[in-house]
Amino acid sequence: MDTIAVLGMGLLGRGFAENLLAKGHAVRVWNRTASRCEPAVELGAVAASTPEDAVRGASRVHLVLAEDTAVDAVIDALRPGLSDGAYVIDHSTNLPAGVAARFDRLRAEGIHYVHAPVFMGPSNSRDATGLMLLSGPAEDETTLRPLLEPMTGRVLYLGTEPDKAAKMKITGNAMLFMLTGAMGDLFRMGEASGVTTDEVFALFEQFSPTPAAMGRRALGAGDRPVGFTMVNARKDVRLMLETAGPERLSLLPAIAASMDAAIEAGRGAEDFSTLADPSRD
Ligand SMILES: NC(=O)c1ccc[n+]([C@@H]2O[C@H](COP(=O)([O-])OP(=O)(O)OC[C@H]3O[C@@H](n4cnc5c(N)ncnc54)[C@H](OP(=O)(O)O)[C@@H]3O)[C@@H](O)[C@H]2O)c1
């Protein structure tokens, strides 16, 4: 039976190992802090003491590490044990420029490196649910899709650019963090003014602006009559800051500063949504 190596037994990596073991694969694991291999070993994985030993004879290698510096260090360490033609599939969330440089360097040396970052949490990696991104040569998608699909809910192939998946991964995470900051601002405003979190959720069942709709409004704003001026939107942000106390908020103070700069630049009568139009910088 083929051996699969999973390097990185953090929150996500140990879930991948658990799922592969449950499907009957032979799994070899390695982690910088060796004790973190124990849960996978209890389920049947074999722990290796070095990356080189972990990948020896493995048909494919999954990296689930913190980021670029860890990925580069671990790839350097595993190389002497890597079988010819074995894929090194990197699920870590990395800098796109780091992925592009690593792809060029390793491919020139005959190593089949691909980047496949994920929108998956620990329970997704255990249950093979969620979304995995993949980009790079089309023939790699053909080879890897049948191997990766059983590890996730869906594999989204984003084309031949090797760092496209990295770019889209940080795009998605940026939205996650901004929405989290936005919800925090709303909850804090509510706390200060007597609106409960349940009432906030109930409002958005009736009134539900979406990211895509707001983005399209911003990009099309120049072609339509102004609907809501920047000056009036800035007034509303002042009301929010006065209600909550600006020091308690994450996003609204930054938005106020961007609106002030736009108004200062003579854009006060424009639609507020032009704040999101990158061509207006
Ligand atoms: N958790 C999530 O929900 C989630 C979702 C999507 C994407 N991601 C991404 O997936 C990756 C793994 O996430 P995670 O949540 O599993 O993180 P984690 O629990 O913090 O695990 C990080 C792993 O990287 C290893 N590591 C860090 N620096 C290293 C180095 N210099 N050399 C060798 N190994 C090193 C750690 O080893 P030690 O145990 O020795 O520290 C650990 O195995 C990250 O890029 C993360 O951003 C996570």
**CATH for 194:** 1.10.1040.10
Specify whether 199 is located in the same domain as 151.
no
Specify whether 140 is located in the same domain as 176.
no
Specify whether 100 is located in the same domain as 208.
no
pLDDT band at 260 (very low <50, low <70, confident <90, very high): very high
**What's the mean per-residue pLDDT of the chain?**
96
Please state, in angstroms and rounded to a whole number, the distance separating the CA atoms of residues 267 and 261: 9
pLDDT band at 247 (very low <50, low <70, confident <90, very high): confident
pLDDT band at 185 (very low <50, low <70, confident <90, very high): very high
- What is the CA(8)–ligand 1 centre distance, in A? 7
Specify whether 74 is located in the same domain as 202.
no
pLDDT band at 96 (very low <50, low <70, confident <90, very high): very high
Taking residues 60-71, what's their average pLDDT?
A: 98
Residues 103-161: pLDDT tens digits? 999 999 999 999 999 999 999 999 999 999 999 999 999 999 999 999 999 999 999 99
User: What pLDDT is recorded for position 15?
Assistant: 98
Specify whether 11 is located in the same domain as 48.
yes
Whole-prediction pTM: 0.95
User: What pLDDT is recorded for position 2?
Assistant: 87
Specify whether 122 is located in the same domain as 18.
yes
User: What pLDDT is recorded for position 245?
Assistant: 87
Residues 21-58: pLDDT tens digits? 999 999 999 999 999 999 999 999 999 999 999 999 99
- Whether 11 is in the pocket of ligand 1, judged by its Cβ within 6 Å, is yes
* Residue where a domain stops, chosen among 135, 161, 187: 161
Specify whether 228 is located in the same domain as 93.
no
Say if residue 281's pLDDT is above 90: no
- Whether 65 is in the pocket of ligand 1, judged by its Cβ within 6 Å, is yes
User: What pLDDT is recorded for position 191?
Assistant: 96
Taking residues 56-74, what's their average pLDDT?
A: 98
- What is the CA(64)–ligand 1 centre distance, in A? 6
User: What pLDDT is recorded for position 248?
Assistant: 85
Atom number, ligand 1, closest to the C-alpha of residue 67: 45
Please name the residue whose Cα sits nearest to atom 19 of ligand 1. Answer: 10
Please name the residue whose Cα sits nearest to atom 7 of ligand 1. Answer: 118
Specify whether 229 is located in the same domain as 128.
no
Specify whether 7 is located in the same domain as 100.
yes
Angle, vertex CA 99, rays to CA 94 and CA 104, nearest 5: 170
The domain of 227 spans: 169-280
Specify whether 209 is located in the same domain as 147.
no
CATH of the domain at 20: 3.40.50.720
Structure tokens at 57: 């004879």
Specify whether 113 is located in the same domain as 27.
yes
* Residue where a domain stops, chosen among 115, 130, 161: 161
Number of domains in the chain: 2
- Whether 248 is in the pocket of ligand 1, judged by its Cβ within 6 Å, is no
* Residue where a domain stops, chosen among 161, 186, 214: 161
Taking residues 203-212, what's their average pLDDT?
A: 94
Specify whether 151 is located in the same domain as 233.
no
Please state, in angstroms and rounded to a whole number, the distance separating the CA atoms of residues 59 and 226: 59
